[in-house]
Amino acid sequence: MKKFYISIVLSVLVSSLSYGQNPNIFQEWILHSIEEEGQEPILFDPLEPFATFTPSENQEFSAETQCNYTDGKVNFLDDEEGEISFFEFGTTLNSCNDPELDDWDWKFTNMFQTAEIFEYREDVWENNQFVNALFITTEDNIVYSFRESTLHTTDLSKSLIRVYPNPTSDYLKIENAKINSEYQILSLDGKLVQAGKINANSQLNVSNLAKGIYVLKVNNQVFKFLKK
Give the torsion through C-alpha atoms of 200, 157, 163, 125, to 10 deg: 80
Amino acid 159: pLDDT:
52
% residues pLDDT > 90 (the chain): 42
Amino acid 13: pLDDT:
39
Domains of the chain, CATH where assigned: 17-156 (2.40.128.270), 161-227 (2.60.40.10)
Please check whether residue 179 is in contact with residue 198, taking contact to mean a CB–CB distance below 8 angstroms. Answer: yes
Work out the mean pLDDT of the chain and round it to a whole number.
83
Q: Give 77-92 pLDDT, tens digit per residue.
A: 877 788 999 999 999 8
- CA 122/CA 145 separation, integer angstroms: 13
Give all strands (DSSP E) within the chain, no chain letters. Answer: 5-8, 29-35, 42-43, 51-55, 60-65, 69-76, 81-92, 115-126, 129-138, 143-148, 162-164, 171-175, 182-187, 192-197, 203-205, 212-218, 221-227
- Whole-structure pTM value: 0.59
pLDDT range class, residue 151, cuts 50, 70, 90:
low
Give the torsion through C-alpha atoms of 168, 169, 174, 180, to 10 deg: 150
Amino acid 38: pLDDT:
87
Instruction: Tell me the torsion sign for CA atoms 128, 44, 210, 172.
Output: negative
pLDDT of 26 strictly over 50: yes
Long-range Cβ pairs for the range 202-207 (8 Å, 24+) = 202/173, 202/174, 202/175, 202/177, 203/171, 203/172, 203/173, 203/174, 204/171, 204/172, 204/174, 205/170, 205/171, 206/168, 206/170, 206/171, 206/172, 207/169, 207/170, 207/171
